[in-house]
Amino acid sequence: SGPRKGRSVYPDAIRVTGARQHNLKSVDVEIPKGQFTVVTGVSGSGKSSLVFDTIAAEAQRQLNETFSAFQRGFLPSYGQPDADLIEHLSPAIVVDQKRLGGGSRSTLGTISDIAPLLRLLFSRAGEPWVGYAHTFSFNDPEGMCPRCQGLGDVVDVDLDAFVDWSRSLNEGALRHPNFKVGTWMWQVYANSGRFDPDKPLAEYTDAECHDLLFATEGRVPIGDGPAQVNASYEGAATKFRRLSIERDVAEMSERTREIAARFTTSRSCPACEGARLNDTVLGCRVHGYNIAEMAAMEARELHMLLDELDLPGAGPVAGHLRERVGHLVDMGLGYLSLDRRTATLSGGESQRIKMVRHLTSSLTDMLYVFDEPTVGLHARDVDRFVALLLELRDKGNTVLVVEHDRDVITAADHVVDIGPGAGIDGGEVVFTGAVAALATAATPTGEHVRRLPTLRQDPREPAGVLEIRNAYQHNLRGLDLDLPAGTLTVVSGVAGSGKSSLVHGAFVAGHTDAIVVDQTAVSTNRRSNTATYTGMLDPIRKAFARANGVSASLFSANSTGACPSCQGLGVIYTDLAFLEGFTSTCDACGGQRFTDDVLAHRLRGASIGDVLEMTAGVALDFFTVERKVQTILGAIVDVGLDYLRLGQPLTTLSGGECQRIKLAAQLHREGAVYVLDEPTTGLHASDIDTLLAVLDRLVDGGNTVLVIEHDLQVIAHADWVVDLGPEGGDDGGAVLFEGPPTDLLRASGSHTAAALRRAVD
Ligand code: ADP
Ligand code: ADP
Ligand code: ZN
Ligand code: ZN
């Protein structure tokens, strides 16, 4: 084999030599095979660049090379990672946090391959016997409910949206744009002679209402003069139904679909009551339950039921089923039911569900790669989850996980700590070895493993209350709650306990001025960058204009001063038909973005191209006299993004970085209510300190901050904690505790309190 630096410590290891992807500084690293390795480090240090963009990308690329060119055309493409050598790779399976999405036919049962086992169970042990396994599927014509075609819901005209009862036909009582006053569809009703076009609909008799909206009898004249024809009459709602609801959605334009959605509501199918199956299938029972009832049970309950079953003839099937459902429970997902639509699952839930399939796989010698698999998981559930990772390892696989969670780090066989800082201050392996040695290492991660959460001793006094009344979303049962305004309040509880239902469903819906700072992409436009998004580019351009006595517009990427080859981007994007495109530095301007004439204009020695290459931290020292630029840069540095370059496209930001740059853009507000959902996702303990400092600043500036979080460091730092539970799903939805974290320590019956007691011990 090729050149090899250093001596291998592990007889059998995936060996990376000279990795330089993104910020990696020619990293050499070994991932021992058949072990459980955690890669950790502050955010932006280069963990993803090493794990996903180097190791996993190379494994997938090499695997793809084994396919024919024709087959490769259908596969995602992976560029060759920037590294000298990557040896002893295994085929990689990347289990990521991309949401499962999927249409209404995709459920937890179908996606986890548990549904086929359940159908098999019914075909073997169901009474009376109705048929083979496929008949128990709502996706099969033999099994589906004929009324809703197996969807469980039916869509109907929302009459209160469709018509304005206070208006007459001439005043535009029919709200759908196709029935607007003056259109021929409108004429059908207004000129039919069947109705008084000036009478408000509220004054119609029941018979007239029925005639206008639903009737399908008689004929009406359409058009004027010689072109007039007689057409059969159809009530307005019936017509809308036929044209917009009963049509195949795939045939409708996006706009038609959007408009249709405004005038329709969906409700549980009256024939099957949402069970999606026909009567014959629903009549077949095992242990008194039909298949829809079993699919609607929480996984936890179903698991207990399967334990009780004694089914001669279906024993092995029931055993497999019990094993898989048990995996869901062990994964902290026991509150979900098999009939839950995948589109409603969070990223963390999606990742854990993808893992269920692999747990029963008999492949060995694989490389499993996970991206923060404990996202959204309560401390109580982390141990059981780690046991599953170990199970995967013990089957003879290599498990490689990017994680910050202390309990996961301390369970690893091997740790790779990347750092010490982010961006150009990171990209090195600062520690590698066994966990025991990490606990004494002088790295941010070493400190984190040693440190205990600090309980806030001096909670802030509330400045008023924010009310939640009668909340009934999902598993909440008429909840009333007063949240303290002007404080940092954390809503905690095990997964599925109702945190999102309370905060997003009940609170945000009732306080429409609340600012939700989430992790969704800031922009998908390649032209948006740190400087444009935060509003500092304008004052920077003005500073250049003043210093050089020229127009500020010269320094705009839209101006004639921009490099004509890359239009001021500094890079060229090459889109390839079937393959993922790639980015290269613009040859014409060498990445400087502007023409030589523009670049000749200097501000304290730097060109506009130089400035856009600066990191926020460097720029803060450069823009000492430009007050506005200074303030914005200060906010970016305060949220821990000092390593972002001013010209860095926002499309390269991670979810956590997106959330923090949104925060940075909000830091100047006062009297606002901020809502953050799991802001510690993707954050290392030392990043969490930075985040908490930002949240404190917001609260001290007269704002209210409401955070959904399971991270104990954040919970301990709150002024006020609302803990939901005690469990997920139907056994959750109750407020177990409200008060400051020091009191939470003494609360009984709360998993959060128990975890906090363990952590500060
Ligand atoms: P981590 O996973 O530790 O949070 P990353 O590996 O995502 O860190 O990022 C390391 C550095 O590489 C950061 O400075 C980041 O901005 C940069 N980076 C990440 N992805 C890209 C990309 N596609 N193009 C350019 N720079 C990138
Ligand atoms: P948490 O945020 O604490 O994890 P959630 O509020 O997401 O909890 O969930 C509370 C309960 O509501 C769980 O039983 C969950 O399965 C259910 N639930 C949440 N979202 C939906 C949804 N879109 N459809 C049906 N049930 C849901
Ligand atoms: Zn139905
Ligand atoms: Zn250029």
CB 602 within 8 A of CB 547: yes
pLDDT tens sequence across 623-668: 999 999 999 999 999 888 888 999 999 988 877 788 889 988 888 7
Confidence at residue 578, expressed as pLDDT on a 0 to 100 scale: 46
Residue 279's pLDDT band, with cuts at 50, 70 and 90, is very high
Length of the chain: 761
pLDDT at 572 over 90: no
**524 Cα: distance to centroid of ligand 2 (angstroms):** 29
Residue 76's pLDDT band, with cuts at 50, 70 and 90, is low
Answer yes or no: is the C-beta of 496 below 6 A from any ligand 1 atom. Answer: no
Q: Whole-model pTM?
A: 0.80
Report the pLDDT averaged over residues 115-142: 94
Task: Spell out which residues line ligand 2, taking CB within 6 angstroms.
Answer: 335-336, 344, 474-475, 493, 495-501, 728-729
Our CA angle for 64, 66, 70, nearest 5°, is 75
DSSP secondary structure, 255-284, as one string: HHHHHHHHTEEEEE-TTTTT--B-HHHHT-
Nearest ligand (C-alpha, residue 49): 1
Q: Which of 474, 503, 675, 678 to mutate to test the pocket of ligand 2 (most atoms within 8 A of CB)?
A: 474
pLDDT tens sequence across 166-209: 999 999 999 999 999 999 889 989 988 899 999 999 999 999 99
SS3 202: helix
Nearest ligand (C-alpha, residue 292): 3
pLDDT at 7 over 70: no
Number of continuous H segments (helices) and E segments (strands) in the chain: 32, 23
SS3 705: strand
| Closest atom, ligand 2, to C-alpha of 504 | 6
**77 Cα: distance to centroid of ligand 1 (angstroms):** 19
**345 Cα: distance to centroid of ligand 2 (angstroms):** 8
pLDDT at 605 over 50: yes
Report the pLDDT averaged over residues 18-33: 96
If you take atom 17 of ligand 2, which residue's CA is the nearest one? 474
**163 Cα: distance to centroid of ligand 2 (angstroms):** 34
pLDDT at 3 over 80: no
Confidence at residue 5, expressed as pLDDT on a 0 to 100 scale: 46
**572 Cα: distance to centroid of ligand 4 (angstroms):** 8
**What share of the chain has pLDDT > 90, as a percent?**
65
Answer yes or no: is the C-beta of 44 below 6 A from any ligand 1 atom. Answer: yes
Neighbours of ion ligand 3 (CB under 5 A): 145, 147-148, 269, 271-272
Mean pLDDT of the chain: 90
Comparing CA positions, the residue from 688, 692, 638, 702 lying closest to residue 665 is 638
Confidence at residue 2, expressed as pLDDT on a 0 to 100 scale: 40
| Closest atom, ligand 2, to C-alpha of 298 | 14
Outline where 15-107 has alpha helix (H): 47-50, 57-65, 69-72
Confidence at residue 639, expressed as pLDDT on a 0 to 100 scale: 87
pLDDT tens sequence across 691-730: 899 999 999 999 999 999 999 999 999 999 999 999 999 9
Residue 1's pLDDT band, with cuts at 50, 70 and 90, is very low
Can you tell me the distance from the alpha carbon of 98 to that of 447, in angstroms, rounded to the nearest whole number? 31
Letter for the amino acid at 390? Answer: L
pLDDT at 313 over 80: no
Two tokens, residue 521: 């992409």
Confidence at residue 251, expressed as pLDDT on a 0 to 100 scale: 75
If you take atom 23 of ligand 1, which residue's CA is the nearest one? 652
pLDDT tens sequence across 492-511: 999 899 999 999 999 998 89
**143 Cα: distance to centroid of ligand 3 (angstroms):** 11
**What share of the chain has pLDDT > 70, as a percent?**
96
CA distances from 223 to 107, 185, 227, 230 (A): 49, 10, 6, 9
Confidence at residue 675, expressed as pLDDT on a 0 to 100 scale: 95
If you take atom 14 of ligand 2, which residue's CA is the nearest one? 729
Residue 67's pLDDT band, with cuts at 50, 70 and 90, is confident
More confident residue, 449 or 340: 340
Confidence at residue 4, expressed as pLDDT on a 0 to 100 scale: 44
**269 Cα: distance to centroid of ligand 3 (angstroms):** 5
Can you tell me the distance from the alpha carbon of 295 to that of 109, in angstroms, rounded to the nearest whole number? 8
| Closest atom, ligand 2, to C-alpha of 493 | 3
Residue 287's pLDDT band, with cuts at 50, 70 and 90, is very high
| Closest atom, ligand 1, to C-alpha of 427 | 10
273 φψ region: left (φ > 0), alpha (ψ -120 to 50), beta (else): left
Answer yes or no: is the C-beta of 47 below 6 A from any ligand 1 atom. Answer: yes
Can you tell me the distance from the alpha carbon of 614 to that of 441, in angstroms, rounded to the nearest whole number? 32
Can you tell me the distance from the alpha carbon of 401 to that of 388, in angstroms, rounded to the nearest whole number? 13
Show the 3-state SS of 381-428. Answer: HHHHHHHHHHHHHHCCCEEEEECCCHHHHHHCCEEEEEECCCHHHCCE
Strands of 83-87's sheet, edge to edge?
27-32, 13-19, 83-87
If you take atom 19 of ligand 2, which residue's CA is the nearest one? 474
**367 Cα: distance to centroid of ligand 2 (angstroms):** 32
**423 Cα: distance to centroid of ligand 1 (angstroms):** 7
pLDDT tens sequence across 88-116: 999 999 988 777 777 888 999 999 999 99
| Closest atom, ligand 1, to C-alpha of 49 | 6
Classify residue 255 as exposed, middle or buried by CB count within 10 Å of its CB (0-12, 13-18, 19+). exposed
Q: What is the ipTM of this complex?
A: 0.91
Nearest ligand (C-alpha, residue 24): 1
Letter for the amino acid at 594? Answer: F
If you take atom 7 of ligand 1, which residue's CA is the nearest one? 48
Answer yes or no: is the C-beta of 681 below 6 A from any ligand 1 atom. Answer: no
Answer yes or no: is the C-beta of 684 below 6 A from any ligand 1 atom. Answer: no
Confidence at residue 78, expressed as pLDDT on a 0 to 100 scale: 61
Report the pLDDT averaged over residues 375-383: 86
Contacts 24+ apart (CB under 8 A), 435-441: 435/409, 435/410, 435/411, 438/409, 441/417
CB 317 within 8 A of CB 282: no
